[in-house]
């Protein structure tokens, strides 16, 4: 083979490897990112209350394109120690909860319209924890919990509260940061 043919072969190999590198880099980014929302909030994993990420009108938040009318708070969760019970008290302000799997993807979202007697309560669990809960349950008296299955063991619960008027901003901040996210231990 001539030198040019070797060079062409090496270029083709390089291009094929480049394609593989590209795909693996794109797939790995959500897991290696150090600035994504989960990595930034990892330190709040053990907190029982939601952590405020952006108060309405907060200019110093790390959140890109923040809505100045919305208070955003999050609970980072890890399901290793058991299901996580998220309980939010709804008020006069628009409020929504969204559930983000680590590595991307919103797998569930709910707004205050779904609240029962002013409380939005959701239990996040793995598929295995759901199966165990169903097996342990009394078929005559099933649980009334809203149970959702998280596709990953770790993730974020994001609370958004909208201040429709400027004067409602403190109230929205308070509502966003007062959501309870506790580990549901078995009795």
In the complex, the residues that contact other proteins under the rule CB under 8 A are 3, 6-7, 9-11, 13-22, 25-27, 29-30, 33, 35-37, 40, 53, 57, 59, 62-70, 72, 74, 94, 96, 98-101, 103-111, 113, 151, 156, 158, 160, 162-166
d(CA 176, CA 69): 12
Give 83 or 102: the residue with its C-beta nearer to other proteins. 102
Q: How far is the CB of 183 from other proteins (least distance, A)?
A: 22
The strand ranges marked E within 37-94 are 51-54, 70-78, 84-89
Q: How far is the CB of 121 from other proteins (least distance, A)?
A: 17
Q: How far is the CB of 35 from other proteins (least distance, A)?
A: 5
Environment class of residue 91 by beta-carbon count within 10 Å: exposed (0-12), middle (13-18) or buried (19+)? middle
Give 64 or 139: the residue with its C-beta nearer to other proteins. 64
**Residue whose C-alpha is closest to residue 116's, from 97, 144, 83, 142:** 144
Give the 3-state secondary structure of residue 160: strand
């Amino acid at each position: 083979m001539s030198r040019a043919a070797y060079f062409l072969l090496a270029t083709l190999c390089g291009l094929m490897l480049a394609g593989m590198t590209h795909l693996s880099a794109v797939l790995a980014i959500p897991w290696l990112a150090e600035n994504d929302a989960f990595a930034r909030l990892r330190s709040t994993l053990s907190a029982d209350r939601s952590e405020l990420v952006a108060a309405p009108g907060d200019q110093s938040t790390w959140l890109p394109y923040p809505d100045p009318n919305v208070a955003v708070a999050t609970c980072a969760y890890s399901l290793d120690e058991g299901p996580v019970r998220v309980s939010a008290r709804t008020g006069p302000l628009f409020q929504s909860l969204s559930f983000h799997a680590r590595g991307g993807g919103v797998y569930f979202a709910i707004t205050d319209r779904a609240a029962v007697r002013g409380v939005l309560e959701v239990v996040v669990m793995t598929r295995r924890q759901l199966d165990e809960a169903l097996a342990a349950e009394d078929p005559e008296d099933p649980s009334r919990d809203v149970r959702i299955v998280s596709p990953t063991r770790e993730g974020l619960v994001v609370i958004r509260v909208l201040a429709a008027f400027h004067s409602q901003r403190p109230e929205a901040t308070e509502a966003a940061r007062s959501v309870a996210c506790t580990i549901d231990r078995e009795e």
